[in-house]
Amino acid sequence: MSWEKYNGEPLQGSILDAVENAIIREVNNGIRLKVFIGTDSQVKRNTIEVATVIVFLREKKGGFMFIHKDKISFKLSIKERMLMEVQRSIEIAYQLCPILEKYQVDLEVHADINTNPHFESNLALKEAMGYILGMGFNFKAKPESFASTNCANRIVQ
């Protein structure tokens, strides 16, 4: 799985090493971090473009993110697509847990799912929320899910 910085520069080594190195760098500079993970997807013709992001927010000092892009060539219902996004976010969150716990960095998993029942994505809200919370992660959905709704969304637009 290849990851890159926002500027498109590929990360060298594993995502786990990149995350740990980023945390060490920021902590050594006296910066407190919080990490947010989110995934978004867009259907384009017969392909689903998917982006997963790891967003690092520096306390009162901006932030940065790492990005993984992918394409899927089979059809999914809106509910299946929303749950696939959540699955991808949980997979990376689960991998990062030991590192984040080691450096006491808080984590939230963001879902690009609307809390308003008038939107289609709301069909997956209960399952997504149960899945994320059941895995022990803090959860945010729209409108508070900026990692998926804004950051990952920019990548697949």
pLDDT at 75: 86
Spell out the CATH class of 4-156: alpha beta
Give the three-class secondary structure for 66. strand
Domain range annotation of the chain: 4-156
pTM: 0.94
112-154 pLDDT, tens per residue?
999 998 988 888 999 999 999 999 999 999 999 999 999 999 8
Are the beta carbons of 41 and 49 closer than 8 angstroms?
A: yes
Residue type at position 105: V
Alpha-carbon distance 106 to 35, whole Å?
6
CA angle 128, 131, 133 (to 5 degrees): 105
57-92 pLDDT, tens per residue?
998 889 999 999 999 988 898 899 999 999 999 999
Are the beta carbons of 151 and 53 closer than 8 angstroms?
A: yes
